[in-house]
Amino acid sequence: MADGIPITRNPAAPEREAAIRAAVRGAVKLRESRLARPEDAAALLALFTDPAVHAPIYSLPRPLTEDTVRAFIEDHVRQREAGEGLLFVTDPGDGRVLGYSDFQIWPQWAAGEIAGALHPSLHGQGTGTKGAAQTFTWMFDTLGLDLICETASLQNTITQRMLDGMGFTRMGQVTSTRPDGTTRDSLVWEMKSADWPRQA
């Protein structure tokens, strides 16, 4: 998603890389979330257009339209087939999407990143931090990653506090390029599997 990440790049053995790609291809569910489908475009657009959702996230399609969101979903379908990405949506079954999780996986380095957001109605309930911790555990244990790399804008103090509080290590700053070509400065954190507390 961002340029120049992960910062730490330890080449994975070919069999390890293949196992990670297979795990990504085999992923169909993330707790209460399911894989996004092209027909989710309208509901996902409704989530994305809320400023509380899209303002801090540089990797969303721009401009935000139903067509660009559908293309975003379809691109993630291709990423999953390559073992390099996943897109999950939280679907309560009433036509809405209440959250999403966007995974970028680098099998060659046994590393990954996640971006995501919850509907504003779910903010402030502690569900975001708890869900993030569970997702990081899933990335390490189910996908078989050695490293998670996360970014946040300089203004996104909520995510900064969350990652610092979870024990992620600050690795510096990179420039993130949005889909429309504009850029954003991002802080970078990393966490190794061996250092991650599994009680999450």
Picking from 56, 55, 54, 94, the residue whose alpha carbon sits closest to that of residue 72 is 54
Instruction: Give 111's strand partners.
Output: 106, 147
Q: Tokens standing for 192?
A: 């190794």
Give me the pLDDT at residue 200, please: 44
Give me the pLDDT at residue 180, please: 73
CA count, 13 A, side-chain hemisphere, 75 = 13
Cβ atoms within 10 A of the Cβ of 61, count?
20
Q: Point out the residues of the chain with pLDDT beneath 70.
A: 1-3, 121-128, 179, 199-200
Q: Please provide residue 48's backbone torsions phi and psi, each rounded to the nearest 5 degrees.
A: -65, -30
How far is 188 from 135, CA to CA, in rounded Å? Answer: 18
Q: CA-CA-CA-CA torsion for 70, 71, 73, 79, nearest 10 degrees?
A: 170
Domains and their CATH numbers in the chain: 14-146 (3.40.630.30)
Give me the pLDDT at residue 125, please: 62
Instruction: Give 128's strand partners.
Output: none
How far is 12 from 109, CA to CA, in rounded Å? Answer: 5
Give me the pLDDT at residue 22, please: 98
Q: pLDDT of 59-116, one tens digit each?
A: 899 899 999 999 999 999 999 999 999 999 999 889 899 999 999 999 999 999 999 9
Give me the pLDDT at residue 56, please: 75
Q: pLDDT of 91-101, one tens digit each?
A: 988 989 999 99
